[in-house]
Amino acid sequence: MPEGDPPLSLRDLDAIGVDRLKNAGPKRVSALAEMEIRTVLDLLQHYPRRYLDRTRQARMAELEADDEVFVVGRVERSASRRTRRGRTLVEVVVTDDTGRLKLVFFNQPWQEQSLRAGRTVVVHGRPTRYQGALQMTNPVVDLVGDRTGRIIPVYPQSEKAGVRTWQIADHVANALDRCEARGIADPVPGEVLRRFDFVGRHAALNGIHRPATLRESSEARRRLMFDELLRVQLEMVRRKRWLERNTAGLSHATGGEMVDRFLSRLPFPLTGAQRRVIDEIAADLAEPHPMHRLMQGDVGAGKTVVALCALLTAVQGRFQGALMAPTEVLAEQHHHTMVSLLGDLSVADESRLDGERPLRVELLTGSRGAADRRRAVAGLASGEVDVVVGTHALISEGLEYRALGVVVIDEQHRFGVEQRAVLRDRGPGSVMPDLLVMTATPIPRTAAMTVYGDLDVSVLDELPAGRTPVATSWARGPLEEGRVWAAVRAAVSEGRQAYVVCPVIDESEVLGVRSVTETHEELAGEGGELAGLRVGLLHGRVSPGEKEATMGLFRSGALDVLVSTTVIEVGVDVPNATVMVVVDAGRFGIAQLHQLRGRVGRSHLASHCHLVGEAATEEAEARLEAVVASNDGFELAEADLELRGEGTLMGERQKGRNDLRLASLRRDKEWVAIAREVAVEMVDADPDLRRNPALAGEIELMLGDREAEFLLKS
Ligand code: ADP
Ligand code: MG
């Protein structure tokens, strides 16, 4: 390498194949490829899973029965034989300077080959006494090679690919040695490094792979974890600023009379959180650039009122408002709620003698009759319709708005970024309407910063006063299930209503799962648990008209029980319903169960949620237990993150390479927030990172083409 070459960037490292490393023949190269390690960058980002601190290893002479320890030794001999019951038994003897230890493996025939005489191994386990001597049965063994250092990295290895942790360590060491001459570039500004006392990137990569002390490895981890978070945040903040700069928005007049009148006529006082979020939104609406805000609020927190304030702010300034919901049932429900909350509000209209006309709210879904639809469509184009509520019919081709000012999208996770963009394009001229996304699936704040990092976030973290928390219990067996149906009958006899939710429609869909129609028959039919009650049925395959009719009956109290699929998951609001039964509850996710439970407990009446059915897996059991234990959506979101891991969360929005290898959205919460702050500072000082092309290039490399994709679509 010529002298004076610049330090290696991540892109440079990504351009060097692992085949260039020592001892990396074709077989090894393809084995590494199987582990997704193709380039030196991949290799350097294949971080140790843990470290062994050899000062803490036990000496074989001093082992005690039943103490969990690790020992390091050399294999003296290994042999396998069959037991009388036909199992393979591998016996290995390892030694250190102080003594010997026998290892016994059942049904792991490969250990004989793997633990060949002369190899250095790290053995974790609990010695037991057998025929007078100590031995370990099925211990965890890492082949670390002939390491001399005090700290030994243990890499995620692949039994299948046949690459051992010590082989990875050797390749990594070789790669790092060869980076010495040029060094590894560090594009993060020195000022930031000093502020948080971070080691440089080259040192960090060395420190994470071959630390001299555990402290060095944790400092290295802290630095590299920050880099991951910073890259994501820079991308998000840049995206957000780009929108703010490059889009023209409306500057709405806030604090107008119409919103005031609406609020003063509500039958309840706003919660503190509602007031705060309404103000946050008003401040955005008054700004000339388009709002791009996410409102998170637990089930029942009162998001609709807040959304209405935003929509009415548009209307009082002669613009239109649109609310898009993910399903017809939900759109209808919103329409219904809005009409009743809005009452007989009127809109200024100089063409009228009395100077005003009634506010006009329309519903637009795919299944509306042709005449209704025509009326709504014409009214939107002429401006006579002030607020429209609907499904994705709102973004159908050819639908025109005279002056769309504010868009609210409910349950964003069901729509794509693209759909948001389409609706935004419906603004007057090249002006973008303000956008409020609301979600009832709270995700932890720091996760929100990452997953929805291009949106501002408001949190409705307070339930209206006087709500009694929903009591939740889990009926695992038939005996307990009997009590659930008795509870439903009791509630109905007191004039209350109940939901029964089932996971799928026909039995044919998933064998052995109770279908909604079948459950309906079983419960309501002759001799059924709910025989004699008025039981309605609702699922995705009934016709829209019938669906609306059934919901109407339930709402009016003409049905006692509604058996349905999750079409009622979100938004349905019948305060008199106080019992929720979820059949086969183990098949639902935490967020879904919490949503379903949110359908009850919507008044001062005490409500109960019954989860019915056995949990098929340990994870399902943990989910159900979490839902029983907590009523707090944010807490449950944390539990969910814990159970499912963050991959799923990121997966919803983040395609391509997942850059979060070290950072954990749940463990490293403060660092997410810090990275966000630093990113805001950096982007505000240098919006396109023009002064730091190295960092910009690295973001592109690590986060893929998402940005390009996004910019083209906007
Ligand atoms: P969600 O946040 O789940 O969408 P909604 O907006 O549907 O909640 O509100 C749930 C119920 O609470 C509705 O019946 C609504 O009218 C009522 N509500 C909203 N805000 C308040 C409040 N501040 N006090 C009492 N009830 C409220
Ligand atoms: Mg709602």
What is the number of the ligand 1 atom nearest to the C-alpha of 304? 6
Q: How many CA atoms lie within 13 A of 507 on its CB side?
A: 6
Which ligand ends up closest to the CA of 300? Answer: 1
pLDDT at 616: 83
* Ligand at shortest distance from the CA of 338: 1
Which of ligand 1's atoms lies nearest the C-alpha of 269?
23
> Given phi > 0 = left and psi -120 to 50 = alpha, else beta, which region is 601?
left
The pLDDT tens digits of the residues spanning 178-208 come to 999 999 999 999 999 999 999 999 999 999 9
| Cα 185 to averaged position of ligand 2 atoms, centre (Å) | 50
**Type of residue found at 110:** W
State which H helix or E strand residue 135 sits in: strand 133-137
Exposed/middle/buried for residue 662 (C-beta within 10 Å: 0-12, 13-18, 19+): buried
Taking CA atoms only, the protein residue closest to ligand 1 atom 12 is: 302
At position 46, the amino acid (one-letter code) is: H
C-alpha to C-alpha distance for 407 and 386, rounded to whole angstroms:
12
Give residue for tokens 């183990």: 586
Q: Residue 423: what pLDDT?
A: 61
Whole-prediction pTM: 0.68
Residues with CB under 6 A from ligand 1: 268, 270-271, 274, 297, 299-305, 440, 464, 573, 602
CA of 602, nearest ligand number: 1
Ligand 1 geometric centre to CA of 284 (Å): 23
Instruction: Please give the number of the atom of ligand 1 that sits closest to the Cα of 297.
Output: 2
Is residue 497's pLDDT more than 90?
yes
Are 329 and 551 within 8 A, CB to CB? yes
Q: Which of 278, 305, 594, 600 is the pocket-test mutation for ligand 1 (most atoms within 8 Å of CB)? A: 305
Closest C-alpha residue for ligand 1 atom 5: 302
Taking only the tens place, the pLDDT of each residue in 295-323 is: 988 878 889 999 999 999 999 999 999 99
Q: Which of 304, 340, 631 is the best mutation target for the ligand 1 pocket, counting ligand atoms within 8 Å of the beta carbon and taking the most?
A: 304
- Vertex 70: Cα angle to 67 and 73 (nearest 5): 130
Q: Which of 424, 369, 366, 411 is nearest to 392 (CA)?
A: 366
Protein residue with least CA distance to atom 3, ligand 1: 300
Report which secondary-structure segment, H or E, holds 502: none
Query: For residue 517, how many C-alpha atoms fall within 13 Å in the half-sphere facing its CB?
Result: 9
- What is the percent of the chain where pLDDT is above 70? 88
Hey, how many other C-beta atoms are within 10 angstroms of the C-beta on 262? 21
User: 315-353 pLDDT, tens per residue?
Assistant: 999 999 999 988 787 788 888 888 888 888 888 888 888
Which tens digits make up the pLDDT trace of 416-474?
455 556 666 666 666 788 999 888 766 666 666 666 677 788 989 888 887 888 999 99
Q: How does the average pLDDT of the chain come out, rounded?
A: 85
